[in-house]
Each structure stands twice: as C-alpha cells, then as structure tokens.
Amino acid sequence: MTRNPCRITGCHGTAINRRICQKHRVRARLYGDPHATPWATVEPLDVEAVVARQAKPDGLGAASRHEVARRLTALQLSADEIARILSVSPRTIHRWRAQDRTTTTAAE
C-alpha cells in the first residue's frame, strides 16, 4: 500500500484524497481552508520559535502550547521532555497526544 504524504507543510498525515489527509480535509470543509485550525489563537511564528529553540515559551497560549507539543512529538521528543519545555505536566502531554490520535486515526 502506498502512503501518500499530506501536502500540508509539516503534516505527517496520510493523504486520502486531493493530496490532503483526513484531518486537513475536515478543516478545509469546516473552515474553508486546510491550514485553519480549531484553535484560532495559535500563533505559527511563536510555535516555530519554540520548536526551534526547544525552550520554555514566554506567554504562549494554551492552543499554541498544544501545537508545539504536537510538533515536538513529531520530532520524537519524549512526553517528559516536552512537558519540561512547555512547563506543563507530562500527564497533559499524554492527554494531548490521546486527543490527536483520536482525530487523526479516525480516517485510517
């Protein structure tokens, strides 16, 4: 079986049609834009900065923290490391990951 990567930059999902994954297809349908997120307050530049520095964010909102956690997870960091970087409990990271698994595996 061929795995076609989602065309959205930074997404590790598998494309199911129109070269985007289920998650982004849903976003495109709900928000009219596959890049849209349910968390309107995510600031992409802040997320990039934190992911690049892997350092504690200053004044990063909860939604952005979740996005950073997702990106760091993709970089194979452990939940403990991510929790330390974001100053949240490892339990929070596990909860976020569980949420993300629910939304991404529903399509497969």
- Nearer residue to Zn ion within complex by CB, 16 or 88: 16
Check binding of 24 to Zn ion (CB under 5 A).
yes
C-alpha–C-alpha distance, residues 91 and 80, integer Å = 9
Stretch that binds Zn ion, among 8-16, 37-45, 56-64, 65-73 (CB under 5 A): 8-16
Q: Which residues contact 96 (CB under 8 A, 6 or more apart)?
A: 66, 69, 70
Minimal distance, residue 27 CB to Zn ion, in Å? 8
Check binding of 13 to Zn ion (CB under 5 A).
yes
Check binding of 42 to Zn ion (CB under 5 A).
no
Minimal distance, residue 21 CB to Zn ion, in Å? 3
Q: What one-character DSSP code corresponds to residue 20? A: E
Q: What one-character DSSP code corresponds to residue 14? A: B
Minimal distance, residue 54 CB to Zn ion, in Å? 23
C-alpha–C-alpha distance, residues 8 and 22, integer Å = 11
Q: Other C-beta atoms within 10 Å of 7: how many?
A: 14
Minimal distance, residue 24 CB to Zn ion, in Å? 4
Q: Which candidate, 87, 83, 103, 90, places its Cα nearest to that of 22? A: 103
Give me the residues that bind Zn ion (CB under 5 A), please: 6, 8, 11, 13, 21, 24
